[in-house]
Chain A
Amino acid sequence: MTTQTGSDVGIDATRAEVCAVACAELFRGDGEIVAAAVAGFVPMLGSRLARATFEPDLLTTDGGPVLSARPVPLGTQADAAEGWLPFRDHLWLVLNGRRHVVMGPSQIDAHGNTNISCIGDWERPARQLLGSRGGPGNTLLNTTSYWVPKHSPRVFTEKVDFVSGVGWDRGAHEIRAVVTNLAVLDFATPERRMRLRSVHPGVTVQEVVAATGFDLTVPDHVPETRLPDAEELRVMREVLDPKGLREREVPA
């Protein structure tokens, strides 16, 4: 299970662990806001890892309506609550804005428009998916990031079939970054088009370009995504995810 990915001597992190740390990095500098990492185990772990290490003021949930007094291990309930955030208050908090959400898109385009609603024509979809959920509100009013466990041209598409989450060109508050199993992507270009920020250790730029269905902005020099440090690995493996749920979500 443990794949040698790093160039650093002595650090032996799996791809899932690199992804979790990249998800933690999404929240760097966010301060005292709710980290709503609803897209899966890896971003949920990332948000709790950020809080347990470099971003201690973050508020995190136990996956339910409890704001936990401490970051809780994946799959467990909070032993102590510091707040209560039932769905209705989550939806009001979207308007308040002190929230950074990580969602999982079925499709995403170069400006960060995303689709979780349906594939094909909305009137008579080829594949009905979830529906818009909170995508329109989240993206318009809160900082939003995305987690894509399997980076492919089907997800990274020229045009999304339905805009459930608005991108930079349609009035988004802030689409911060996209973490995938291959890379970290952001929108740090003048026209806010998607750009390759870093590739995970062991991944080539060509692989990411081939797995992206639109013209990706690729800087001359693309750094490697940073590895977890020893303390982050300890917190993930021994405290926040001892069952290794993160490994299930990232293809080998």
Chain B
Amino acid sequence: MSKVMSADEAVGTLESGMTLGIGGWGSRRKPMALVRALCRSDVTDLTVVSYGGPDVGLLCAAGKVRRLVTAFVTLDSIPLEPHFRRARESGAIALTEYDEGMFMFGLYAAAHRLPFLPTPVGLGSDVMRVNPELRTVRSPYADGRELVAVPALTMDAALVHMNRADARGNAQYLGPDPYMDDLFAKAADRTYVSCERIVDTADLGKEGPPQSLLISRSQVAGVVETPNGAHFTDCEPDQRRDEAFQRLYAKAAADEEQWAAFRDRFLSGDEADYQDAVRRWQEEQ
């Protein structure tokens, strides 16, 4: 059964107030086309769970985020994300700030229907101070060690971007790192996969080994074909990060007037308009 749909259809199933996971990592293989569709929608008041990059920045700029759950927000080659910074410095969003590994344990717990997973990580740090809801547990064994009980990061929906998928939702990464996208898919009630290209199931084996088939169709509610859909983040080996465009984004994001101009030029239409506008900009360079 085909689960192929458009980005707007996928986003059309989301509701305001939801907890939404976003795959990728920093400025790497982010489902940016789905994020752009989300920014065009009426959905708002989201709790966003993400190893944050420009996905978080764009959603903050569009006023979609009520709370962010993260360990960092970065553009990688540019350390700080301007929209996220402004959102924090103006008090526009609430934050749940974890260590990267705590965050991963929260994903593993949610993916496996556990209420929490124990880890020592977080103890001694101010992550414990700013998350007063965090509880610790004591090992029942002889060591008696105190551990942080990282609560499951359950989600209503998750968005991820992969290199390939078939129409039923089997999804493949071809780059060097899976990030946590399979965990997001398992941790969410429903997951939408965008991909560079939809291929026949039989062809998935032509480009990568079985272990590159990261996400099973049993976890996927919808498949969206969005070539260059991670732009301007990377999607190796199909696309490298568009560093020049990311610099343009970061510069514009740091200034209100410039941001208005950027938004008019690149984000005022649909995804096809975005990709056209990016191509035209690239030709000017």
Q: Which residues of A contact B (CB under 8 A)?
A: 64-66, 86-88, 91-92, 94-95, 117-118, 122-137, 139-141, 162-166, 170-172
Residue of A nearest to B84 (CB): A128
Whether A86 touches B178, Cβ cut-off 8 Å, given contacts A91-B100, A117-B126, is yes
Are B100 and A117 in contact (CB-based, < 8 A)?
Answer: no
A107 nearest CB across to chain B (Å): 12
12 contacts between A and B (CB under 8 A): A65-B176, A87-B25, A94-B121, A95-B119, A95-B121, A128-B80, A130-B80, A136-B121, A137-B119, A140-B120, A165-B125, A171-B124
Tally the A-B contacts, defined by beta carbons under 8 Å: 123
Are B97 and A132 in contact (CB-based, < 8 A)?
Answer: yes
Q: Judge if B122 is at the interface, Cβ distance under 8 Å.
A: yes
Whether A125 touches B177, Cβ cut-off 8 Å, given contacts A131-B97, A137-B99, is no
How does the 8 Å CB contact mask read for B93-116 relative to A, with 1 for contact and 0 for none?
Answer: 000011111101000000000000
CA distance A91 to B52 in the complex (A): 16
Contacts of B97 in A (CB 8 A): 117, 122, 131-132
Q: Judge if B123 is at the interface, Cβ distance under 8 Å.
A: yes
Whether A137 touches B102, Cβ cut-off 8 Å, given contacts A86-B177, A128-B85, is yes
A92 nearest CB across to chain B (Å): 8
Contacts of B84 in A (CB 8 A): 128
Are B124 and A140 in contact (CB-based, < 8 A)?
Answer: yes
Residue of A nearest to B125 (CB): A136
Are A163 and B91 in contact (CB-based, < 8 A)?
Answer: no
Are B104 and A91 in contact (CB-based, < 8 A)?
Answer: yes
A114 nearest CB across to chain B (Å): 10
B254 nearest CB across to chain A (Å): 13
Contacts of A162 in B (CB 8 A): 126, 130
Are B100 and A122 in contact (CB-based, < 8 A)?
Answer: no
Contacts of A87 in B (CB 8 A): 25, 100, 177, 179-180
A162 nearest CB across to chain B (Å): 5
Cross-chain contact of B125 among A88, A126, A128, A132 (Cβ < 8 A): A132
